[in-house]
Each structure stands twice: as structure tokens, then as C-alpha cells.
Amino acid sequence: MTTHLDTYKALPAAQQPEWPDAGARDEAIESLEKLPPLVFAGEADVLRERLAQAASGHAFVLHGGDCAEIFAEVSADRIRNKLRTILQMAVVLTYGASQPVVKMGRIAGQYAKPRSSNTETRDGVTLPAYRGDAINAFPFTAEARKPDPWRMVEAYHRSSATLNLARAFTTGGFADLRFVAEWNRGFVANPAFARYEEIAAEVDRAISFMAACGADFDALKAVEFFAGHEALLLDYERALTRIDSRTGAAYDCSAHFLWIGDRTRDPEAAHVELLSKVRNPIGVKLGPAAQPGDVLRLLDRLDPEAQPGRLTLITRMGAGHVRTLLPPLVRAVQGAGRTPVWMCDPMHGNTIAFGGYKTRRFDDIMAEVKGFFEVHRDAGTIPGGLHIELTGDDVTEVLGGSETIDEEGLARRYETLVDPRLNHQQSLEMAFQVAEMIRGHRG
Ligand code: PEP
Ligand code: CO
């Protein structure tokens, strides 16, 4: 059945796979359409309210997770480590900002990737590029690289299992603030991170104070956690778009939050069209090529009613450009009287090739965050959150940090199939540094 939700099908759609078997594609889509939603419309509405708080400077958003999730890594340990990292960072940021931190994962659906080329050539052999586990598999063989629509159904089931565990972890006692503070004590006990001891000790004292006052620790035992991913694969997102029985409005029930990538944000093309029709909070990535006019057009297309919390602009300019490229965008949006959430993605503008690896320098990442805060301070606008690629494991994919990872270090445990991620310790280090920046910004 064709509905107003299908208007995107008439528009150009970048970064879509060519499914080799149309019959299999239709069957897979039909199966997805019959499966239950992964999130409820009401939860997406709650997230929109939380993001509205961030847009007005009353909350800060932490959105983190893998560049690309992979099926083989949907395990209890990996998911727990990721959540633990996000929760630990969030406690530090909550303290630094003296504000609620909206906690969100790049998780439970981050299975489709935009690529710079449709094909990859190795030793004279050319095959389709790896586009994420929802589409094809990574090994460099014709069989693995062939797009298989049933992988979308597998992505749904893996997302469902991931989200189920994330919900259990965040509401079932694991997220108790006292445990999280205990893990942070373990982190600063490492001499490499001694410079963060002072702020960690302050967090500890604040928690002891609350406990001494008889604060209701039941309320501190559970956290709200949201899932978000790039809405890239239109067949998947459309199949999970459902009509809310309460209001008749459409929601993309594959996640609470969906963002449109820098490569698919053409205001007149398919991704913007589909997402303009759903009520979830939506993000748009803005890279160095983004012009003020593009951004204003996106505001009109995606948020014509200027609904608080609806739109998040995620800027990723690179450390060397954030101070020159971000101000014109901020001024244009401000001039239009709009207050989206401004989030900083300090990862994607700082990717380099080094020693045969795709990597990033921790110092460049931090420099972009710093530039982001300064630009917003100068403009009088609100730096509302951070969007980062991280894992809870001790991988070695990003250069630098206090426990220095150098060229040799990269070889030790480089596991990502797409972009390099901050490891557990680098993530915490970032949180401590950003907590200091937020205090400086607000103070
Ligand atoms: C990503 O977030 O992994 C990504 C591809 O980002 P961007 O759209 O900003 O390039
Ligand atoms: Co990435």
C-alpha cells in the first residue's frame, strides 16, 4: 500500500544498496513490516522533551557508541562495557554541568554505513563496498559482499536483543549511581589519570552528601537511556515506520532518535523527505561543506513548526575548521530565531590515515570540542551535547590520551571495520576534560 509516507520513493536516494534479487527484497521488507516496533512513540516523545531541555540550556546530551555495530559483537559483555562507559561519562558530565545528562547510544540499529565509493578494489579485484552488517558482510569475497536483504531482518533481531539488554541494564540496578561512582574511582586510581582525581573526589563527596541527607536512592538506581542510529537504509526505516494509535502520527519505531548523515542531507532528496514525515526527534550531520542556506532549508523541511527538541544539528567540521566554519551556521540559525540542539561530533572531521590505519588524534578530538564551546560562547548560543564514537573495550584505534597510544600501539588491538573509536579510558578522559570545559563555559 502506498501512502503519504512513500513520497520519498520518487526522489533520488543516495547511499542505498542495489539488492540483486527484488523478490527477496520485497519478502524481507514484508517480514520487517510484520514485526513489532522496537520503541514506542511515547518514548520518542519523552526524548523530544529531554532534547528541548538541552536546546534551552537545561540539560546536556551524551550520544555515543560504535561507528558501525556488527552482528558478531552483539554479546552481553560488549553491550555491558559500552553502557558502562556511557554511564560513567554521564556521571562526570552531570557533575560538571550541574544538569541532567540525556544518555543515548549509537546502538541497537547502527548497522548501515555511507561509503565514499560503491566498490572496493584489492589486488586488482573489485567488489561492492562493505555497507554495514544490515546489507552485506565485511570479508572480501564476492559472496560476502553481495547485498542480502534478509540481513535487514537479522539487524532488526540483533537490535531487539541489544535494546532489551540495554533496558535491563539501565533499569535493573546496574546503573545505580553508587556503582558508577565506584567504577570512576577505579579509573582515577590509575596514575596515568591522576589529574582527574580532584573532580572525581568532588563527585564522590556529592554522592556521599546525598546519601547522608537520605536522598531517595531508588530514584538514583535507574536511568533513562535512549537509542539512536543513522537513518540511512531507507527500506529498513520505512518498514519500521508505524502509525501511533493514540494520535495517528507516524513514528520511525526502529529507534528513539534518527539522524541523517552528512552525505544524505540533501533537502530535496529521499532521506530528508522520509524523516520529515515522522515525529521522532531527528538529527542532521553538518560537515565542512554545509552552507548557511542549506541549514535554513533543512530547518524548514524537517522542523517547519519549530517544535522544541525536534531538531538537532550535529556539527563535524574538524579541529582546524570549527572556529571558521561553525560561526556562519550558528549566526544563520540564530538570525532565523531558531533554537535547535547544537551537538558536536568531534570525530568525523578529524579522521586521518596513519601507519596504514584510519585513525584520529585524541588531541584533535578535544580541540574540536573546545572550539565548539568557544564558538557557542561567543555567539551566545548553547552547546547542547556531544556525539562520539566509542567502545567500552580496550581497543587501540585512536592515537593519544594519557596512556599514550602511538603508531605501534594502533597495531595492538585495532578492531573497527569502519571508523576508529575512543576506547573505554579515552572516553572517560574525554568526559573529565569536557566536564571542566562546561564548568568554564557556564561559570
Ligand atoms: C557516522 O556518524 O558514522 C558518519 C558516517 O558520519 P557523517 O555523516 O558525519 O560523515
Ligand atoms: Co563513523
Q: What is the mean pLDDT of residues 251-269?
A: 98
- Mean pLDDT of the region 25-32: 98
Q: Measured from the CB, is residue 316 less than 6 Å from ligand 1? A: yes
| Mutation to probe ligand 1, out of 69, 110, 115, 263 (largest number of atoms < 8 A from CB) | 263
pLDDT in tens, 372-418: 999 999 999 999 999 999 999 999 999 999 888 988 899 999 999 99
Q: Answer for the pair 41, 365: CB distance below 8 angstroms, yes or no.
A: no
**Hey, which of 106, 259, 275, 345 would you mutate to test ligand 1's pocket, going by the most ligand atoms within 8 Å of its Cβ?**
345
Which residue's CA lies nearest to atom 6 of ligand 1?
A: 261
Write down the pLDDT at residue 429: 96
Distance (Å, whole) CA 111 – CA 109: 5
Atom of ligand 1 nearest to the CA of 113: 5
Tell me which residue of 304, 366, 318, 316 sits closest to 343, measured CA to CA.
316
CB neighbours (10 Å) of residue 305?
6
Domains of the chain, residue spans: 19-112+164-175+222-442
- Kindly report whether the global pTM for this prediction surpasses the value 0.75: yes
Would you say 11 and 215 are in contact if contact means Cβ atoms under 8 Å apart? Answer: no
Is the pLDDT score of 224 beyond 60? yes
Question: β-strands 125-128, 119-122: how paired?
Answer: antiparallel
Q: Is 144 exposed, middle or buried (0-12, 13-18, 19+ CB in 10 A)?
A: middle
Q: Work out the average pLDDT over 173-199.
A: 86
Number of the ligand 1 atom closest to the C-alpha atom of 418: 3
Q: Over the stretch 324-352, which tens digit does the pLDDT of each residue have?
A: 999 999 999 999 999 999 999 999 999 99
Residue 305 has pLDDT above 80, yes or no: yes
Ligand 1: residue whose CA is nearest its atom 10: 262
- Cβ atoms of 201 and 82 closer than 8 Å: no
Q: What's the distance, CA 194 to chain centroid? A: 29
**The three three-digit cell numbers of residue 50, written as one number:** 529531554
348 CA → ligand 2 middle, Å: 6
Give pLDDT, residue 1.
57
Give the Cα separation of 198 and 192 in Å (integer).
14
289-292: long-range pairs with CB below 8 Å, 24+: 289/262, 290/262, 290/265, 290/315, 290/325, 290/329, 292/328, 292/329, 292/331, 292/332
Mean pLDDT for 213-231 is 88
Determine the pLDDT at residue 333: 98
| H/E segment holding residue 243 | strand 241-243
What length is written for the chain? Answer: 443
Average model confidence (pLDDT) across the chain: 95
Our answer on whether the CB atom of 232 is closer than 6 Å to any ligand 1 atom is no
Q: Is the pLDDT of residue 2 over 70?
A: no
Is 437's C-beta closer than 6 angstroms to any atom of ligand 1?
no
Return all residues near 44 (Cβ < 8 A) that are at least 6 apart: 251, 256, 257, 279, 280, 281
258 — pLDDT class (breaks 50, 70, 90): very high
- Residue 84, pLDDT score: 94
Residue 125, all three cell numbers: 579485484
Residue 179, pLDDT above cutoff 90: no
Q: Given this model, what pLDDT does residue 214 score?
A: 83
The answer to whether residue 442 scores a pLDDT higher than 70 is no
What are 295's three cell numbers? 541549514
What is the per-residue pLDDT across 81-119, written as a single tens digit (0 to 9) for each?
Answer: 999 999 999 999 999 989 999 999 999 999 999 999 999
| Residue 36 DSSP SS3 | coil
Decide if pLDDT at 218 tops 80.
Answer: no
Query: 19-112+164-175+222-442 is classed in which CATH architecture?
Result: Alpha-Beta Barrel (3.20)
Proximal ligand: closest to the CA of 231 = 1
Q: Give me the pLDDT at residue 220, please.
A: 81
Instruction: Find the helix or strand (DSSP H, E) in which 127 lies.
Output: strand 125-128
Query: What is the end-to-end Cα distance of the chain in Å, rounded?
Result: 55
What percent of the chain shows pLDDT beyond 70?
Answer: 99
Which of 63, 285, 286 is the best mutation target for the ligand 1 pocket, counting ligand atoms within 8 Å of the beta carbon and taking the most?
285
pLDDT above 60 (res 138): yes
Instruction: Please provide the DSSP assignment of 353-409 as one string.
Output: EETTEEE-BHHHHHHHHHHHHHHHHHHT--EEEEEEEB-SS----SB-SSS---HHH
Q: Check if the beta carbon of residue 54 is closer than 8 Å to that of residue 385.
A: yes
